[in-house]
Amino acid sequence: MADATIPVISLHDLAPATRSAAAVQTLGEALETFGFVAITDHGVPEPLLTGAYAQARALFELPPATKQRYEDTSTGRQRGYTSLGIEHAKGQTVPDIKEFWHVGRREGDVVANVEPAELPEFGSTFNALFDELDRVATTLLTSVGAYLEKPDGFFEDFTRGGNSVIRVIHYPPLPHEVEPGAVRAAAHEDINLMTVLPVATEPGLQLMTREGEWIDVQTPPNVMVCDSGDMLQLLTGGRVRSTTHRVVNPPGDANRSRYSMPFFCHPRNDARLSEDPEVLALDFLMERLRDIGVA
């Protein structure tokens, strides 16, 4: 295991009114070097995060038949529930050991959200969390735009109405016998532009350095981790690369449920990710959803 630490930046130093050129440079270099950065002073209320995790636990404790009533394959599972054993990493055949629920944007050319009737506070809680994480992602991307010397407002327009989602994930305790090669989340790169990740309830996240070594990603409770995805890599011609990461299986003495709530920031559906060949955001998304077995 490599010994390395991802850079830490205050979101205050990236906000438009208080932006520091040094912080913008640190952010850009961190994404080029690691593809990951830790963010302090993000402003997401702690009670909202605590409440969201409580709702997540309640959601996944519902009976399987109840959860499966909210499972819809017609939209590439972009909203609602996805059962255990469905999704696998690109290029893999063994599914990840996880189940999840998607909550997305409520306006624009997007798929409608699904709310579990059994949990009356679920929708309002995750709608509020979506807005907060969307704000964080927008601030980060605006600074990435400054680092890349994009025109003012480039990423705000690029993501306006985009089909961003919170993926509420449950990694259940491992069964007594695990299928060979099965892990909580096999090595992969995120599809989207940028991911904002509140701290999960248990450790296990690892990233691969540019030298091909795995390092643990574990931050204090008040810090969020952000990483660049395949869409940003494509948009920048590989300058800002997506980073391979995974969630490893827990040791026997820590074989507990793990909950995670990554926010995947997406461009609007008609945004052009590359010109030659032309790749539009929605086409790229649906191709990748097919690659991982959910569309």
Q: What residues in the chain have per-residue pLDDT under 70?
A: 1-4
Provide the angle, in degrees to the nearest 10, between the axes of the packed helices 122-147 and 21-33.
100
Distance of CA 17 to the CA centre of its chain: 26
Residues 183/96, Cβ–Cβ less than 8 Å:
yes
- CA-to-CA distance for 225 and 216, rounded, in angstroms? 12
Whole-number Å distance between alpha carbons of 227 and 190? 8
Q: By the 8 A CB rule, do 198 and 224 touch?
A: yes
Query: Does the structural domain 8-72+79-291 have CATH classification 2.60.120.330?
Result: yes
Token pair 């002073």: residue: 41
Q: Is 16 exposed, middle or buried (0-12, 13-18, 19+ CB in 10 A)?
A: exposed
Burial class (CB in 10 A: 0-12, 13-18, 19+), 8: middle
Please state whether the predicted TM-score (pTM) of the whole model is above 0.85.
Answer: yes
Residue-level pLDDT at 2: 45
Q: Tell me how far apart the alpha carbons of residues 198 and 53 are, in angstroms, rounded to a whole number.
A: 10
Q: Any alpha helices (H) in 61-171, and if so which ranges?
A: 64-68, 122-147, 154-159
Residue 4's pLDDT is: 56
Tell me how far apart the alpha carbons of residues 219 and 210 are, in angstroms, rounded to a whole number. Answer: 21
Domain ranges of the chain: 8-72+79-291
